[in-house]
Amino acid sequence: MVSLGATVYRFTDSPPRTLVTYWPEGRGECITFWSSADFALISGIYTFVATDGETRSLFMMWSSMGVSRLADMLSAHGRKYDGPNIPAFPAGPATFSIVGTPPLDPSVLVPIQSLHDLYNSEFNRLKAAYDGRESARIEREAYIKAHPPQPKNITLNYWRTEKPAAVKGDAR
């Protein structure tokens, strides 16, 4: 099981960058790294075969942050946005850069490197799948807005599990 938490930072004038926290199974410590891969595209992967031949399951919680939009919103309230310190990545295939001390056992990073290899080799398919999911989400939101669900008429049954406390002065 590969457990990840990811925040995709989206910019208007440069490619997205992702800050990822990785909890290696059975290791106890977490590893944080920056990636030049858009982990929103990786969100559709549930299992994959790593470069070591092992099949891994992916559990990832992710979010997306529009940096320009956030900066504009804070600016409108007289505040300045100090963005994260993102390392420079070379153009070309997606890669990652560990924040802090790298793990002592390099085999811990095999699933992460494998995800990046998969991202690089299957980018077009990952992008098409993500675009399909986004299109379906937008279509569903539009349908629900046009046809809001009607509240259901429910009956709530309940009962007391304890006798009510006696009222002061009551002779019960």
Residue 172 domain-assigned?
A: no
Residue 10 domain-assigned?
A: yes
Higher-confidence residue of 45 and 72: namely 45
pLDDT for the residue numbered 156: 86
Residue 62 domain-assigned?
A: yes
- Residues of the chain with pLDDT > 90, as a percent, come to 63
Model confidence band, residue 171 (pLDDT cutoffs 50, 70, 90): low
Residue 140 domain-assigned?
A: yes
For 106-144, write each residue's pLDDT tens digit.
Answer: 889 999 999 999 999 999 999 999 999 999 999 999 999
pLDDT for the residue numbered 167: 78
The first and second tokens of residue 72, run together, are: 């504009």
Highest-confidence segment of 12-26, 58-72, 120-134: 120-134
Expressed as residue numbers, the domain containing 43 is 2-146
- The closest of 18, 123, 33 to 65, measured between CA atoms, is 18
Alpha-carbon span 110 to 124, nearest angstrom: 23
Mean pLDDT of 141-168: 86
Residue 169 domain-assigned?
A: no
Domains held by the chain: number:
1
pTM of the model: 0.79
Residue 41 domain-assigned?
A: yes
Residue 163 domain-assigned?
A: no
Mean pLDDT of 17-44: 91
Whole-angstrom distance between the N-terminal and C-terminal Cα of the chain? 61
Residue 160 domain-assigned?
A: no
Over 60: is that where the pLDDT of 172 sits?
Answer: no
Residue that is written with structure tokens 């990822």 in the block: 20
